[in-house]
Amino acid sequence: MEVEVQEKETNQIPWAHLRIPPFPQVALRVLQLAGSESVQLKRLGELISSDPAFSSEVLTIVNSLLYAPRYPIKSILQAIEVLGATHLQGLCLTVGVRSYLGKSLGHPAMRMLWRHNMACALIAEQIASTGTMDRDIAYTAGVLHGIGLLALAVVRPRDYIDLVGTFIGSQEGLIERERALFHIDHCELGRKLVCDWNLPEEFAEVMQPSAPNASHAWGLAEVVSLSCRMADTAGYAVFSACHAAPFEELREELPPCERQLFHTEVETLSFEVSKRMAALETI
* pLDDT tens across the length of the chain (283 residues): 333 333 343 444 454 545 778 899 999 999 888 766 667 888 899 999 999 999 999 999 999 988 888 999 999 999 999 998 889 999 999 999 999 999 888 899 999 999 999 999 999 999 999 999 999 999 999 999 999 999 999 988 999 999 999 999 988 899 999 999 988 999 999 999 999 999 988 999 999 877 777 666 899 999 999 999 999 999 999 999 999 999 999 999 999 999 999 999 999 999 999 999 998 887 7
Backbone conformation region of residue 68, classed left if phi is above 0, alpha if psi is from -120 to 50, else beta:
left
Residues whose CB falls within 8 Å of the CB of residue 163, separated by 6 or more in sequence, listed in order:
174, 177, 178, 181
What integer pLDDT is reported at residue 8 of this predicted model? 41
d(CA 224, CA 232): 13
Residues whose CB falls within 8 Å of the CB of residue 263, separated by 6 or more in sequence, listed in order:
126, 269, 272
Q: Report residue 76: phi and psi, to 5°.
A: -65, -40
Instruction: Give the largest CA-CA distance in the chain.
Output: 64
Q: What is the distance of C-alpha 137 from the center of its chain?
A: 12
What integer pLDDT is reported at residue 249 of this predicted model? 97
First to last CA, the chain: 47
Domains of the chain: residue spans and CATH: 2-281 (1.10.3210.10)
What integer pLDDT is reported at residue 18 of this predicted model? 59
pTM: 0.90
What integer pLDDT is reported at residue 174 of this predicted model? 93
- List the one residue out of 164, 149, 144, 185 whose CA is nearest residue 27: 144
Q: Letter for the amino acid at 142?
A: G
Count of beta carbons in the 10 Å neighbourhood of residue 65: 12
Q: Letter for the amino acid at 252?
A: E
CA atoms within 13 A on the CB side of 217: 8
Count of beta carbons in the 10 Å neighbourhood of residue 124: 30
Count of beta carbons in the 10 Å neighbourhood of residue 142: 29
d(CA 239, CA 250): 19
Q: What is the distance of C-alpha 22 from the center of its chain?
A: 17
